[in-house]
Amino acid sequence: IRESLQVVRSRDPRIHRMPFLDAGHKLGAKKEGGGGGSDYHALGAMEVICSSMAKTLQTALRPPDWLRGNYMAVRYEDLVVEPIKTLRQVYSFVNLAVSPEMEKFALNMTSGPGYSSKPFVVSARNATQALSAWRTALSYQQIKQVEEYCHQPMALLGYERVGSPEEVKDLSRTLLKKPWL
């Protein structure tokens, strides 16, 4: 809650607050066991982060002269699916050569023997499994809430919105397309 509150306190007062999708949710209601509205603060933090990301990506699409050619967007999914190619693109962008040790590290971090159902956990594991962890860990309602807050940066980065709970669970269907950047 503390970290979410720090983000929420940085909110631009012009940001429009989206309503909760769950009509039964009580804003600010205290939960049994001391949860105390942590989901409310997390949603506020998500709103701030996605709004900021949308502004950053819009700037990247129409960069001012000083930024043109000095900015590269990299999706996590691209790094996981093609770690060596993506790593080489990033290093080339900053005029560096990738060492064999760094390539080995990237492969280990994305294709290691471990497994984690938790997204964003940094460890040597099969990261392609982590790419879809949100599709099994989050409810359809939660996914729709994220899409409502984050639709602008998602579209710019090439993330498709889900149409049904069945579509979420169909892991054979990718929800990625070519990003605009």
Q: How far apart are CA 152 and CA 102, in angstroms?
A: 33
Q: What is the pLDDT of residue 129?
A: 75
Question: What local confidence, expressed as pLDDT, does residue 116 receive?
Answer: 53
pLDDT of residue 166: 95
Q: How far is it, in rounded angstroms, from Cα 72 to Cα 19? A: 33
Domain coordinates in residue numbering, the chain: 39-71+138-180, 72-136
pLDDT (tens place) for every residue of the chain, 181 residues total:
666 666 666 665 555 554 444 444 444 444 444 444 567 777 788 888 899 899 999 998 899 999 999 989 899 889 888 999 999 999 999 999 999 999 988 888 787 665 555 555 555 566 777 788 889 899 999 899 999 989 999 999 999 999 999 999 998 888 988 877 6
Q: Compute the distance between CA of residue 143 and CA of residue 177 in angstroms, rounded to an integer.
A: 18
**pTM attached to this predicted model:** 0.70
pLDDT at 25: 45
